[in-house]
Amino acid sequence: MNIVLKLRYWIIGFFGVLFIVCAILFNSVKVNYDNTKYLPESEPTKQALVVLDEEFGLNGSAQVMIKDVTVLEAANIAQQIKTINNINNVVFNAWDPHYFKDDQALLIVAFEENNYAKETKQALDDIRTLLKNEDFYLGGESVLVNRYSEVIQKEILKILAFIIPVIILVLLLSTSSWIDPLLFLIVVAVAVIINMGTNVMFPEISYMTHATCGILQLALCMDYSVMLMHSYQHFLKESENPKQAIVKAWKASLMPILGSALTTVTSFVVLMFMRYKIGFDIGIVLAKGTIISLIVSLVLLPCLLLVFAKLISKTMHKSIIKPSPKLVNFMMKRRWILPLIALLLIGASVYWQNKNTFIYGELAIAQDSSDEKTDQSIINETFGIRNQMVILIPKAESAKEPLLMTALLNDAATHQYEVSELLSVTMFDQTFTRAAFEVYLQNFGLDATMQANMLQIFDMMALEKAPQDSFSINEMITYVTTTNNLTINQKMQLAPFSAQIQAIKAQLVSAKYHRLLLTVDLPSEDEKTFSFVERLRTTLDETFTQATHIVGESVAITDMREVVKNDYRKVSLISMAFIFLIIAISFVSVSIPMVLVLIIEGAIIINMAIPAVFGQSLLYIGYIIVSCIQLGATIDYGILYASRYLHYRGDYDVKEATNYAYEDSKTTVLTSGLILICAGYLLGMVSSIPSIAIFGTLIGRGALISTLLVLFVLPQTLAMLDPFVKVTTYRKKRKS
């Protein structure tokens, strides 16, 4: 440490340069919004996406609803949208009530690229520009994703603008110098920016990681600076030499800080064991951030303390948080009551936690957001839910497609949902009577002249091929191209119809597969939808001998649901086992890790039971990740108190040891706890991205419950279990 202090100006300069470089690199970090990328390679959805991309390409889509338009106006708008760059196709069937009713039109837009591409974002912007004078609504995953990409950078700055003043206020309440909060913010800002800038080393990070890692790092890792600062102030009272006080404080704080960092890093490393790889994404970024915060706190903060030592001394003030012996006496007199209340509360929470209902996908969460809820809900209320799936059928077994289509229609009738669209290349082999063909032409969206021309072709075929009176689309196109009864000019007039049919076929047939487009009126996720996906997979397995594939939001969520359910059990057990082991080794004790893990796990159970009590759905990925973060981060509060209790228990009785330990640890626990509480709740209140808002609220509430249990339940629990702690904890003999 003496060498570090000697080189303090060089070190401050080095971190300053690194801060600037990483701040510049921050804008170059690539952000991913496609959660299917985090599914294991073995999952059916992941395999299906690879095949779909190879055979047909991955095309994004959007729904455009326009109010107060006529059929002709809607058809004209559809044609205008189709001319926009990066738009592959626009579907609008004027005579189909799923596309037009009550002077309201629904256009289904297919993009050249996927939902997450820059080209898709530009096409959406162009659609908005084109329709600026219309009363229109945009829906679909592409709209949601591109809105997130627009707001996420702004929201990070917005959240920081809210949280920094709150942190300054908390630090002013808990420190004894007006300069201390400034030093804390410098250290944390340097650590956060270095971490976020160095994320450029990864090919990409998830939008959830990008939006939350800086805020969480700020809240979780300030403990190290707080612990070192409080230790410095303690030793400064013994020695008026700031340099000596810093060296002593650094040595005294090193092991507690390393222990705290180790439990936090462990909770993030455990996330990397998840099969759903968003856990790895969040875990590795936050683990890196914790290590960076540790280095910055142990290297940069001592240098700043020495540089600003005189200014710190000149700006000293009395700590606003005062000792509270009356509170400790009150708790000790009623030491059975609060632990008993906590135990009953945890027991009730176990029951309620099992009543939780979960959300797995972003679209379902977005039903509670602002713009998307308004637009998508209006579209759904007007035209019904459009849940589209793509089924890939091996070309060698395409003859069985009609069997599948019949099975799907029968399933819809049995389970009471509507198949609003079932598009397959085999439909062009389906025969039509003249009346049925006339209806088909109307639904196909052709103008009156083209409809009349095609009906004339039908009549010519009926006359030539009598008594046959029904024909397929393929038969009619073949007739148009081969007959000698039409002039070249007449054939040219019919070419647009043939071209449209060929364009549709090109989208439905590849070298190896036929593509079947299925649209149902089921929500993106609920038990009925999950059951439908499972029945569909069973039907495909029973109908076809070769491998088939399904792609769709509901299919991906079904796979995600199974993956994350298994992840929760694995991650919870691993995190508890590792943290138990770390604490057991640190304290050379069996009882201390038991008590601390049970207290914090109790806080987690209470936190996760609250949504069920209030009838709210819980984001499952947040359920897993927040459980790990809450355990790894807030158990540090318990470790701090337990270490001080054991220290004083060597010289004092239970009551006095409890009193001294409480006063020693209270300020640090309150400071760290309040910062994490405020960071979580502000993230929940400020973010307009629903999954991130839920994530933040869970963290804030979890930190609040953990802090309360550590401050008001842990002291009495250790006091009551003192005889058990004594015989299960190894203590070194003190030198006389």
- With H, G, I as helix, E, B as strand and everything else as coil, classify residue 54: helix
CA distances from 336 to 605, 662, 710 (A): 21, 17, 15
What's the sign of the alpha-carbon dihedral 141, 146, 149, 151? negative
In the predicted structure, residue 371 carries a pLDDT above the cut 50: no
The 10s digit of each residue's pLDDT in 294-344 is 999 999 999 999 999 888 888 887 766 655 666 666 766 666 788 888 899
The 10s digit of each residue's pLDDT in 597-622 is 999 999 999 999 998 898 888 888 78
What DSSP string runs through 334-387? TTTHHHHHHHHHHHHHHHHHTT--EE-SHHHHGGGSSHHHHHHHHHHHHH---E
Q: What is the mean pLDDT of residues 572-597?
A: 89
CA distance 471 to 458: 8
The count of other CB atoms within 10 Å of the CB of residue 145 is 22
Beta bridge partners of 450: none
Q: Please give the sequence-ordered ranges of beta strands (E in DSSP) within 604-701, or none if there are none.
A: 618-619
Cα 116-120-121 angle, rounded to 5 deg = 85
CA distances from 24 to 229, 265, 281, 290 (A): 30, 26, 22, 21
CA distances from 689 to 205, 464, 604 (A): 17, 63, 24
Structure tokens at 733: 């003999």
The 10s digit of each residue's pLDDT in 100-124 is 888 999 999 999 888 888 899 999 9
In the predicted structure, residue 360 carries a pLDDT above the cut 70: yes
Domains of the chain: 1-32+175-318 (1.20.1640.10), 36-145 (3.30.70.260), 321-354+588-736 (1.20.1640.10), 386-558 (no CATH)
Beta bridge partners of 101: 104
The 10s digit of each residue's pLDDT in 26-64 is 989 998 888 888 888 888 998 999 999 888 888 888 999
The 10s digit of each residue's pLDDT in 58-80 is 888 899 999 999 988 888 898 89
